[in-house]
Structure 1
């Protein structure tokens, strides 16, 4: 079983909702996703930009959030269990090593 297989059905429902909104407003899916994050108070989402056009898309998403934030933010997204990341700081003096010898 893959790391994210448990939440595939939940994730695909979110993808369908984002796709529907993107088609309704004539924008890209990533713009809907970023607009949703901004309406939830995420001030600096990681956009993974590898091309200049990705920054243009992010700027367009900010406009979507400003114009349609109340509609984009509709519905709730249940949180995922944290997978593959450290969800808290280790106790004082504990060192985390990820190098195998």
Structure 2
């Protein structure tokens, strides 16, 4: 079982909704994702531009204007994910983690 497999079913509900909105707006799913970030106030979303076309896709997201209904549609099935592979708080003073790097 992979690190994030336990949340795959919940995640796929959101992926399906991103796909539906991409069809509605006749754009790429990545553009819906970037448009959602902008709608939520993120001013510089990280788009992972390993190819020039990805930059074009990111710029194309400027033409996608999600409505409040679209945003609610995307967010409605969201389920918070448990923390995996990291600690969620600092250990008490004096406690040494076994896998701590020195």
The TM tier, using the shorter chain, reads 0.7 to 0.9
Name the structure, 1 or 2, with higher relative contact order (CA <8 Å, separation 6+).
2
1:73 counterpart residue number: 71
How far 1:10 sits from its partner (Å)? 0.4
CA shift digits 1:17-59 (9 cap, x unpaired): 0111101110000000111111112222221111111111111
Bigger radius of gyration among the two: 2
Equivalent pairs counted in the alignment come to: 96
Structure 1: which 5+ runs fail to align? Answer: none
Q: Is the 8 A contact 2:36 2:66 kept in 1?
A: no
- TM-score, normalised with respect to structure 2: 0.74
Structure 2: which 5+ runs fail to align? Answer: none
Provide the C-alpha distance between the structure 1 equivalents of 2:46 and 2:87, rounded to a whole number of angstroms: 18
RMSD: 2.6
Out of 55-64 and 25-34, give the one that drifted further: 55-64
4+ long deviations beyond 3 Å: 84-92
- TM-score, normalised with respect to structure 1: 0.74
1:29 counterpart residue number: 29
Q: Is the 8 A contact 2:47 2:58 kept in 1?
A: yes
1:58 counterpart residue number: 58
